Structure 1
Amino acid sequence: MTNQTALFSRLTSILADESRTPLYKRFATAIKDAVREGMLVHEEILPSEREFSQLLNISRITVRKAMDSLEKEGVVLRSRGYGTQISSQFEYSLKEPKGLSQQAVLRGKKPDTVWINKSKIHCSAEIAEKLGLSIGSDVYLLKRIRYVDEQAVSVEESWVPARYIADADAIGISLYDYFHQQQILPVKSQSRVSARMPDEALQQQIALPANVPVLVIKQLAMDAQGNPLEYSISYCRSDMYVFIAE
């Protein structure tokens, strides 16, 4: 059974179920699940709205609403004369500090993390200024390689005031999931984006071609009172990220 044959079989079953969830939402969720499970791969061309409509016996309006939703979430790309394809890029919003893992899940993608370092250190003058601390205060340095759909997309270093981390070993894939478990709520962020060519170490860590630049994202996350919670520097593949600031 081909991937698209399997997809149509799954969609037929899901859309036939009795549910109060609108058809277009069930359709969109099924597409995201198919991407997450590898049934649909990046850059794969999807059938047209007309084909989906005819084969699934649903209206083209339902298909269009589902595709509109998927496009807004960055799951698919649509272009006139070319059709609809599964996006190979990951849209990351700089507006709200949800964290890469949560944003990846919301877009139907699978996040993962390989930790390189979780250690308590005395902060430098630069990090102290960013976090509103005294020079030499205890902070946790967290360094990791971030993955989306099993592909390395960025290397990230974070500094967090030690009082916000009771047990660094309890931090799993997502630092922000750990924050929420501790009732720590990042609600706003300040971000600066620049570009540079990668060094050899970075190329090896995320399998980056030498001619592809990295985007350097420096971000400060804060709680509702404006208290700094995390300062991070991320080195992201420019060919796999689209950053949204509005």
Structure 2
Amino acid sequence: MTEYNALFSRLTTTLAEASRTPLYKRFASAIKDAVRDGTLVHEEILPGEREFSQSLSISRITVRKAMDELEREGVVFRSRGYGTQICSQFEYSLKEPKGLSQQAVLRGKKPDTVWINKSKIHCNAEIGEKLGLSTGSDVWLLKRIRYVDQQAVSVEESWVPARYIADADEIGISLYDYFRQRQIMPVTSQSRVSARMPDEALQQQIALPATVPVLVIKQLALDAQGNPLEYSISYCRSDMYVFIAE
């Protein structure tokens, strides 16, 4: 048990708290908190159900339900004969435009952003067509490096019609948080995924080996009325992402 003292201590405290939240959900939440603050790291093997059950004086059914939930959210991966480990890959849903930051938080991970460019430009014909604008219309060009749990996972360029952003300096980690604060609601998305080998600049930006391909995600986010809100192109590490389309 020595190896997992910090984890068991956290779980014991969490499970002892008075709460109406089901025990298995509090267990799962404590695991996600431990991932977020680095107590548990990527690819670390977790104790088995029996060890959790005996050490914490809870049923194995509670442990199993918590692990089922964590697996559905992409926080852990389970394999027969090998055990349960913290996922090294980040599941990203292409179905709903929640944004990387929100999806990372929902999976118990910590998102971050390093901005490379925030500038208002005149769009070319291609971007204008994607956003339903005439060529030369004002759009915001936003370029950044995206991080999950302090690891660079992608480089993203996006274009947003100028009317949706009053001051780009007010955009923090998440563009979609900025949208939601202003009642701008992405509802659906159209996505296209392809793969290619990284160029030298991309390798340096996200510490990517030359032998690892990048997934190129072209995505258009739309509001409930079908108005284009953002067109983005993301270059994602293929070894750290799992894309879910259903």
TM-score clears 0.5: yes
Letter of the aligned partner of 1:79 in structure 2? S
- What is the CA–CA distance in structure 2 between the aligned matches of 1:17 and 1:129, rounded to whole Å? 54
Q: Spell out the pairing of 1:15-34 with structure 2 (5 A cutoff).
A: 15-34=15-34
SS at match of 2:185: coil
Q: 1:129 to 1:3 in 2, by over 3 A?
A: farther
What CA deviation, in whole Å up to 9, does each residue of 1:205-241 have, x standing for no partner? 0000000000000000000000000000000000000
Q: Spell out the pairing of 1:1-246 with structure 2 (5 A cutoff).
A: 4-246=4-246
Aligned residues: 246
SS at match of 1:218: strand
SS at match of 2:104: helix
- What is the CA–CA distance in structure 2 between the aligned matches of 1:98 and 1:49, rounded to whole Å? 33
- What is the CA–CA distance in structure 2 between the aligned matches of 1:164 and 1:17, rounded to whole Å? 44
Letter of the aligned partner of 1:24 in structure 2? Y
- What is the CA–CA distance in structure 2 between the aligned matches of 1:2 and 1:32, rounded to whole Å? 20
- What is the CA–CA distance in structure 2 between the aligned matches of 1:104 and 1:61, rounded to whole Å? 27
What CA deviation, in whole Å up to 9, does each residue of 1:24-58 have, x standing for no partner? 00000000000000000000000001110111110
- What is the CA–CA distance in structure 1 between the aligned matches of 2:3 and 2:146, rounded to whole Å? 27
- What is the CA–CA distance in structure 1 between the aligned matches of 2:236 and 2:189, rounded to whole Å? 18
Letter of the aligned partner of 1:92 in structure 2? Y
Q: Which runs of 4+ in 1 moved over 6 A?
A: none
- What is the CA–CA distance in structure 1 between the aligned matches of 2:245 and 2:145, rounded to whole Å? 23
Letter of the aligned partner of 2:40 in structure 1? L
Q: 1:103 deviation in Å? A: 0.3
Letter of the aligned partner of 1:58 in structure 2? I
Long gaps (5+) in structure 2 = none
- What is the CA–CA distance in structure 2 between the aligned matches of 1:114 and 1:3, rounded to whole Å? 35
Letter of the aligned partner of 1:18 in structure 2? A
Structural RMSD (CA): 0.9
Letter of the aligned partner of 1:87 in structure 2? C
Q: Return 197-206 or 6-15, whichever deviates more.
A: 6-15
- What is the CA–CA distance in structure 2 between the aligned matches of 1:3 and 1:161, rounded to whole Å? 52
Identity of aligned residues (%): 88
SS at match of 1:221: strand
SS at match of 1:96: coil
Letter of the aligned partner of 2:68 in structure 1? D
What CA deviation, in whole Å up to 9, does each residue of 1:168-222 have, x standing for no partner? 0000000000001111000000000000000000000000000000000000000
SS at match of 1:74: coil
TM-score under structure 1 length normalisation: 0.99
Q: 1:3 deviation in Å? A: 5.8
Q: 1:2 deviation in Å? A: 5.7
SS at match of 2:20: coil
- What is the CA–CA distance in structure 2 between the aligned matches of 1:2 and 1:205, rounded to whole Å? 39
Letter of the aligned partner of 2:176 in structure 1? Y
Q: 1:49 to 1:183 in 2, by over 3 A?
A: same
Q: Return 54-63 or 9-18, whichever deviates more.
A: 9-18
